[in-house]
Chain A
């Protein structure tokens, strides 16, 4: 059976902060055009996984992270962005005092010598509410618009893989629904997505595959429809469903 090489491959990853071990052997892969979810309770290591891949601040102890054929063990965050691996972090981390337009243009920092007009209008087309607020500082946007801006800013770098850390936090259900619809659309158009979420059922409805992390290890993995029927997922997330 031939299948395309994974865009992102995480193998036996151990990582943490200082003396604290958070990930204790995580294996995961994401292929182009896939929407993959990482689920799990608080403290399971979901965000640490994304921070490790972005080479932000978690320390890698052993194992490997290979993105598009490049070993990220010694890469800087800047390098991961140049390779096309983008993260929309928890809390969005926008440039609050800069305008919507400036936030988006800065998203293309690693390819700033290219013409950005085509990407910019594509983002405004995808996220219509932002188009009306081009000149406004980012802090004046609503929560949903801020999340759109954070995703739009990452899209300006033309990512091959887009990682979203808890995109639904603090947003109204219909806004979250909208964001996941956009995420599915992005996946269909070829961008791989890796979404970390606590909201399991909502995420599983849009995902192709999912991993459940517990205590820094992969407790379960499979297609979204398998996991949705899995008794253990139901047990873990009983009451956590908004679907």
Chain B
């Protein structure tokens, strides 16, 4: 009976917390947390389930994440199986009907963009493939734009009293974003058509956006570490395909990238990959500022 009293007490205590809070957003990745903050301002309280130095495939369904999902009004995830190793557990344990897939409180960013790299066959022998396509959509500002528009509509639907605020902030964000995108495209003009190498196949949206050719990858297949024979093949490809530099994400191990780039005599360029992937990449704008600046600098060197 003591337990029942404790239950009842905690339950009654819990109700007022919900009523006064701003729109409580649980973002699976920091880029969507940053976007939700930009669109919602002080009308939202945003929690990022992962930080910029974590591999979003490899997150443990920690109790703290379950606790955050319990109170969330809106879950913003990438989707396309990126969070398949942990998010289903959190959703089933959270006891929160508002954020179950199919509910208005469950938003997948990939619903707003068309995915590239969808495999024509599904076989685990091909490595860590995603059936729906490559989920790392945040590396192109055009995708961010599309997600911003869709996410804003969802926020307006969920929190109609603040819909005007969201609409206004979104319009403002998109204006600034379009201006910044033109600036980045202008800065990145010399990168068009150059050949580069990637550590992991998670840059398809960036390379497509800037017109760069992904001529080699350090992994023979996604998630499969390279053997010596494969690496010597990559080293031979660098002069043959006139590869200019190698890019890798901040959350990835720098050692293989540094080693291969050092052997091949090309720069290894760490890119933030998402918000928080670099100490200066505090929001989406600075994320692309840094990304473009590093690419242009690597190209000029």
* A, B co-complexed: no
B-binding residues in A (CB < 8 A): none
Instruction: List chain B positions with a Cβ less than 8 A from chain A.
Output: none
